[in-house]
Amino acid sequence: MSDENGAVVREAPFVMPKVREVASGAPWRWLALGFADLRAAPLPSLFYGFVFAVMGAAIQRFVGEAALELALVTGFLLVSPFLAVGIYDISRHRTRGKRVVFAHTLVAWQANAPSIGFYALILALLLAVWIRVSVVVVALFFTGDMPQEGGIFAQLAATPEGWVFMAAYAAAGAGFALFVFATGAVSIPMLLDRHGMDTLTAMITSFSALRRNLPVMVLWAVTIVVLVGVGVFTWYLGLVVVVPLVGHASWHAYRDCVEPVPSPP
pLDDT score for 116: 94
- Rounded to 10°, the helix 239-257/85-95 angle is 60
pLDDT score for 51: 94
- Would you say residue 11 lies in a domain? no
Pick from 60-69, 101-110, 126-135: least confident: 60-69
How many C-beta neighbours within 10 Å does residue 197 have? Answer: 19
Please tell me the distance from the alpha carbon of residue 89 to that of residue 93, in angstroms, as a whole number: 6
Give the model's confidence band at 155: pLDDT under 50 very low, under 70 low, under 90 confident, else very high.
low
Question: CA distances (Å), 254 to each of 2, 56, 64, 68, in order?
Answer: 35, 27, 39, 33
- Would you say residue 198 lies in a domain? yes
- Would you say residue 90 lies in a domain? yes
Report the candidate in 172, 109, 115 with the shortest Cα–Cα distance to residue 140: 172
Q: In this predicted model, which residue has the larger pLDDT, 223 or 72?
A: 223
What does pTM read for this prediction? 0.86
pLDDT tens by residue, 203-227: 999 999 999 999 999 999 999 989 9
Mean pLDDT, rounded, for 136-151:
65
Check if the beta carbon of residue 186 is closer than 8 Å to that of residue 254: yes
CB proximity list for 71: less than 8 A, separation 6 or greater: 130, 131, 134, 135, 138
- Would you say residue 15 lies in a domain? no
pLDDT surpasses 70 at 49: yes
Residue type, 144: G
Backbone angles phi, psi at 158, to 5 degrees: -85, -10
- Would you say residue 20 lies in a domain? no
DSSP state of 159: S
- Would you say residue 14 lies in a domain? no
How many domains does the chain divide into?
1
- Would you say residue 145 lies in a domain? yes
pLDDT score for 153: 60
Q: In this predicted model, which residue has the larger pLDDT, 74 or 34?
A: 34
Please tell me the distance from the alpha carbon of residue 38 to that of residue 172, in angstroms, as a whole number: 34
DSSP state of 13: P
Give the model's confidence band at 154: pLDDT under 50 very low, under 70 low, under 90 confident, else very high.
low
pLDDT surpasses 70 at 45: yes
pLDDT score for 1: 41
What range defines the domain where residue 173 resides? 30-257
pLDDT score for 265: 43
pLDDT score for 30: 98
Please tell me the distance from the alpha carbon of residue 87 to that of residue 240, in angstroms, as a whole number: 12
Give the model's confidence band at 78: pLDDT under 50 very low, under 70 low, under 90 confident, else very high.
confident
Question: What's the number of CA atoms in the CB half-sphere (13 Å) around residue 130?
Answer: 29
- Would you say residue 227 lies in a domain? yes
Q: In this predicted model, which residue has the larger pLDDT, 180 or 76?
A: 180
pLDDT surpasses 60 at 255: yes
CB proximity list for 65: less than 8 A, separation 6 or greater: none
